[in-house]
Amino acid sequence: MIGSAVDIRIGEGGIYLSASVCEQYFGGVEAVILLRWENDIGILPVRHAAAGGYLLKRRNLAGDCLVFAPEFFEHVNRRNAPVECFEAQWDDGRAALLVRDYCK
């Protein structure tokens, strides 16, 4: 099942998440895994810190977060892309916040 859309910003090697998006999809987790599925990218919560992944770094007092992952974006040929706003939707089947057609 696909959830309602939320806005996130992606670029300059990172994913910028608002506090509300962090709380809704990644509340209580400290890291995420980034995966590419064809042209889509998925942001999956990591429930155990020992499992690895990219840290959700808090950016400000409001609770906005940054996932800094330049090597992932280099792999999908978007490392130096400017920061842009994208729609993301929760996909229950993949247990991920999904950004469709990011890697076109």
d(CA 86, CA 93): 21
Phi, psi torsion values for 66, nearest 5 degrees:
-125, 135
Predicted local confidence at residue 79, as pLDDT = 84
pLDDT tens for each residue of 21-70: 999 999 999 999 999 999 999 999 998 767 789 999 999 999 999 999 99
DSSP state of 49: G
Which sequence spans correspond to the domains of the chain? 2-89
* Mean of pLDDT values over 74-95: 93
Which comes out higher in pLDDT, residue 99 or 79? 99
d(CA 33, CA 8): 16
Of all residues in the chain, the percent with pLDDT exceeding 90 is 84
Residues 27 and 81: their CA atoms lie apart, in Å, by 28
What confidence score (pLDDT) does residue 1 get? 56
Task: Tell me the Cα Rg of the chain.
Answer: 13
CB 26 within 8 A of CB 87: no
